């Protein structure tokens, strides 16, 4: 009986945990992990796991801000220009495919085939054709970032309410206004779900092209550090890559929340009602 009673207490979440406990748990656990890493690795002589103190020192020496201009900026430029182009093409293409059933039926098998291919396998093909320039790196990011947004936009527009398109037609809105003023915003939440996946893929592609054939960039420096057994440098690079991955996906989330504020607001209202 006591077992059931305690079970009830832990199963009903809201009253069981005070806000103070909640925040304590959120802050203490990560802090404890970092402290454990710091002291656990303190005297380490292992070639794989250098002391965290040494990693932090190397991080400061390498990335604040010695190699920002030579390596961090190129990575970010490739990542975000590729992502922007890929997303723009994906949105335009997705709108187009959604509105043109004949074209859709013609290219869909090709798109399915293309999406089944692990994006990474495109790198050597692209390099064979165009070499190792900056354009190829951006192009690689574009090719990988494109499909998620394209499919999400297409599905979003195809899934729209039939009444909506009737209304739009009854008002006689011109084509451009119909697409950009009505269809795209209504499909917005789905489009952004696709953009978030595009972001993850773009990040992977941007690092991967650096690791394959580049002479600069965070990914290149990190893999080089691994190959030369500079393990503290490598760990510092991994940390920076983690920060860039976390930061760039946070940026996309911020943009999404800003652009879809109207939608989140309407959702909150309808949930409260």
CB of 233 to other proteins, least distance (A): 10
Contact 117, 147 (CB under 8 A): no
42 is a contact residue toward other proteins (CB under 8 A): no
**Residue among 109, 172, 271, 272 that touches other proteins (CB under 8 A):** 109
DSSP state string for the chain = -HHHHHHHHHHSHHHHS-HHHHHHHHHHHHHHHHHHHHHHTTT---SSS--HHHHHHHHHHHHTTTTIIIIIHHHHHHHHHHHHHHHHHHHHHHHHHHH-HHHHHHHHHHHHHHHHS-GGGHHHHHHHHH-S-HHHHHHHHHHHHHHHHHHHHHHHHHTS-HHHHHHHHHTT--HHHIIIIIIHHHTHHHHHHHHHHHHHHHHHHHHHHHHHH-SSSHHHHHHHHHHTT-HHHHHHHHHHHHHHHHHHHHHHHHHHHHHTHHHHHHHHHHHH-
Binding mask 197-226 for other proteins (x = CB under 8 A): ---x--xx--xx--xx------x--xx-xx
Contacts to other proteins from residues 231-250, by CB under 8 A: 231, 234-235, 237-238, 241-242, 245-246, 248-250
Contacts to other proteins from residues 120-159, by CB under 8 A: 120-125, 127-129
Which is nearer to other proteins, 183 or 203 (by Cβ)?
203
45 is a contact residue toward other proteins (CB under 8 A): no
44 is a contact residue toward other proteins (CB under 8 A): no
Q: Which residues contact 50 (CB under 8 A, 6 or more apart)?
A: 41, 44, 231, 232, 235
**Residue among 64, 73, 108, 259 that touches other proteins (CB under 8 A):** 108
118 is a contact residue toward other proteins (CB under 8 A): yes
Contacts to other proteins from residues 52-81, by CB under 8 A: none
CB of 80 to other proteins, least distance (A): 15
If binding means CB under 8 A, how many residues of this protein chain bind other proteins?
71
**Residue among 80, 114, 132, 263 that touches other proteins (CB under 8 A):** 114
CB of 177 to other proteins, least distance (A): 27
**Residue among 68, 117, 167, 259 that touches other proteins (CB under 8 A):** 117
Q: For residues 67 and 166, give the distance between their C-alpha atoms in angstroms, rounded to a whole number.
A: 56
CB of 110 to other proteins, least distance (A): 5
Contacts to other proteins from residues 168-197, by CB under 8 A: none
25 is a contact residue toward other proteins (CB under 8 A): yes
101 is a contact residue toward other proteins (CB under 8 A): yes
Contacts to other proteins from residues 250-269, by CB under 8 A: 250
CB of 67 to other proteins, least distance (A): 16
Q: For residues 78 and 56, give the distance between their C-alpha atoms in angstroms, rounded to a whole number.
A: 26
CB of 82 to other proteins, least distance (A): 15
Angle between helices 73-99 and 134-158 (to 10 degrees): 30
């Amino acid at each position: 009986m006591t077992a059931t009673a305690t079970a009830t207490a832990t199963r009903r979440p809201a009253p069981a945990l005070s806000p103070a406990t909640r925040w304590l748990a959120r802050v203490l656990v990560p802090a404890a992990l970092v402290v454990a890493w710091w002291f656990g690795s303190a005297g380490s002589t292992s070639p794989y796991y250098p002391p965290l103190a040494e990693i932090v020192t190397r991080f400061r020496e390498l990335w604040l801000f010695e190699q920002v201009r030579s390596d961090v900026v190129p990575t970010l430029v490739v990542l975000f220009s590729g992502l922007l182009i890929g997303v723009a093409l994906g949105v335009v293409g997705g709108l187009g495919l959604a509105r043109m059933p004949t074209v859709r039926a013609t290219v869909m098998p090709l798109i399915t085939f293309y999406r089944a291919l692990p994006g990474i396998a495109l790198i050597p093909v692209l390099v064979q054709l165009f070499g190792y320039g900056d354009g190829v790196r951006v192009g690689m990011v574009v090719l990988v970032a494109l499909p998620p947004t394209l499919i999400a936009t297409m599905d979003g527009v195809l899934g729209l309410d039939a009444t909506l398109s009737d209304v739009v037609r009854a008002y006689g809105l011109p084509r451009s206004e119909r697409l950009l003023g009505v269809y795209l915003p209504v499909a917005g939440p789905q489009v952004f779900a696709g953009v978030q996946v595009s972001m993850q893929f773009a990040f992977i592609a941007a690092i991967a092209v650096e690791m394959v054939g580049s002479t600069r960039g965070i990914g290149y420096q990190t893999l080089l550090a691994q190959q030369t057994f500079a393990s503290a440098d490598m760990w510092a690079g991994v940390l920076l890559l983690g920060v860039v991955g976390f930061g760039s996906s946070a940026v996309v989330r911020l943009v999404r929340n800003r652009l879809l504020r109207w939608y989140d607001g309407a959702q909150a209202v309808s949930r409260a009602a």
